[in-house]
Every structure is written in C-alpha cells, then in structure tokens.
Amino acid sequence: GSASHKIHDSGYSLQDCQRLSTLIPNFQSLHPRNISMLLKEERAPSPVIEFDSLEKFVMQPAEQGITVKCRVTRDKRGVDRGLYPTYYLHLDNEKKVFLLAGRKRKKSTTSNYLISIDPTDLSRGGENYVGKLRSNLMGTKFTVFDNALHPDRALPDLSNARQELAAIIYETNVLGMKGPRRMTVIIPGMNKDCERVPIQPRNDNDGLLIRYQNRKMENLIELHNKTPVWNEETASHVLNFAGRVTQASIKNFQIVHSKDVDYIIMQFGRVADDVFTLDYSYPLCAVQAFAIALSSFDGKIACE
C-alpha cells in the first residue's frame, strides 16, 4: 500500500544520504516530518563585523556585498517561558556577539513582541527597547515598528513619530498548514545614499500593509519567500542553504526579490531544537531580520 511511501522521522540510511548528496549537492530537505541531513559542510563564520554602537548597528542596513551571519536561540526555561520564550540573536562568529533579544508581551490581545538591545531588559519603558513586532487578530499579518512615538503622541510634522520597518504577510496554503508557507515581506525602499526611506504613517489608515493592499508601492520593496523545489527522490521540498541549515523544518525559509531570486536577502533555518541560523544581507538590518524570524515562530502559524 501507500504506507511505505510515508516519510518517517527515522530519516535516510547513510547510503541514501550519499546517493542523494550526489544528486542534489548542497540541498536541504524541508519536509516537515523528516530530518534528513543531506549535508555536513563546514558552516562559514560571519565576516568580521565591528561596530561602536549596538543600537546603531542593529538599525543599519547590512553593508552591500556582506552577509551578516547570525544565530537565533530560543530559551523556554522558567515559569512561563513555555508560553513566552525569550529569543536571542547573536553574531555567528567566535565571539558570539549579542545583538538583540525578543519576547512576546503578556496581556496583549494580539501577538506583540518587544525587541531589545539588552538581554535582561525586555520592558516597553526600558531605554534598551529598539522595536516591536505586532500581529493582526488572525495572526497572519505582522508589522515591525522602531522605538519612536505613536503618531497620536508625536509632533504634528511626525518628525519624532515611529517608523514602520517591515510588514510580513503569511498566506495559509491551500493544503492547510502542511506544505511550505507563502510569505510576503514589505520593507521601506532605499534612497540614493542607501539609507531607508522613513515610512511614518499618520494613523491606522496608512502603513506598509495598507499600501501593499492598495498596491501603492512607491518607495517600498516587495519580497517573498523562495519557492522550495519538490524533490521526487526525497519526496520533500528542498532549498539550497549551502550548509547553513542542518535540520529539516517547515520553518526553514529564504527571502528573495522576484527580479533576482538567487540573491538571498535573508535565510532562516533550524540547526537544533532551539537553535536557528539567520543570515541577512542588504537592504535588511538586524531588527528587520530578527522580527521577520520572530513572526515565523508565532503560534497561529507555527506548525511545529
């Protein structure tokens, strides 16, 4: 019967692995229920990245031509950490430099994550708060804000009003939640000096999500997750992570622009139960990339 075609957790025999790796070099299976390690390449460390101010660095777009290689760790320890884990972002190099921490706020009607440059201070009033990620009621759309003021409390010219840094939209696929999810990411465009164009909505009738909905895409960049290729041989979805991802997971994804799907703007994937690699490139900054990753953990969408 068809039962033998189902893919179980046991993965493949070594022989299968060797055969597959010759067929699909550098490819990583994305099948949600199957951990096949098709590849054990040495992971190249992050290029030397130095900065004086952490707060400035996490908001600055990656330098052109550089991939910033990071890892995300999820900490579920403590009384309520099962429901409200803390996530940490570090540079994936020898020093493991800390960049950001994020945690879901309690008592919030929608999912609301605070992002901080201090791993011990994840409070909204704290001076280390650099941004937040907020979802809609359905948990399918997210907006990322910086730490400036809500437009109602800002100056009339909005000069000190908060900026929207990204919007993330998840489409549940036709087959329910089993296959790879479609993601759309909208970010502010870049000006001639390679700086982000400030997007500062005056009220709820404006913003990245609304502009995208109305196809008002001036000064905006639209990105999508790269469609995984179905691989008959492994009966699974695969993407090329070039050795940066070692565990199959429905959560593994790559973000690209439709004009150049080989330029990976961001990739995120699992290497252990609570450890993930996150690599990002121009025009993303660390806060945008980390927030996009946090959105992918959120309960209503997460499948594992």
Dump pLDDT digits (tens) for 233-282: 888 888 889 888 888 887 899 999 999 999 999 999 999 999 999 999 99
Q: Which helix (H) or strand (E) holds 297?
A: helix 286-297
- Length, in residues, of the chain: 304
In this prediction, residue 93 carries a pLDDT of 86
Short-list 162, 146, 180, 190, CA closest to 281: 190
Dump pLDDT digits (tens) for 172-205: 765 555 666 789 999 999 999 989 999 999 998 9
CATH of 54-229+250-297 given 3.40.50.1820, 3.20.90.10, 3.40.50.300, 3.30.300.30: 3.20.90.10
For 26, half-sphere exposure in the C-beta direction (CA atoms, 13 angstrom radius) is 5
Q: Which helix (H) or strand (E) holds 240?
A: strand 236-240
In this prediction, residue 251 carries a pLDDT of 81
Residue by residue, pLDDT tens for the chain (304 residues) are 333 332 222 233 333 333 333 333 333 443 333 333 333 334 555 667 888 899 999 999 999 999 999 999 999 886 666 678 899 999 998 889 999 999 998 878 888 999 999 988 877 667 789 999 999 988 899 999 999 999 999 999 999 999 999 999 998 765 555 666 789 999 999 999 989 999 999 998 999 999 999 999 999 999 999 988 888 888 888 888 988 888 888 789 999 999 999 999 999 999 999 999 999 999 999 999 999 999 998 865 544 3
Q: Is 297 left (phi over 0), alpha (psi -120 to 50) or beta?
A: alpha
Domain boundaries, the chain: 54-229+250-297
Q: Which amino acid is at 119?
A: P
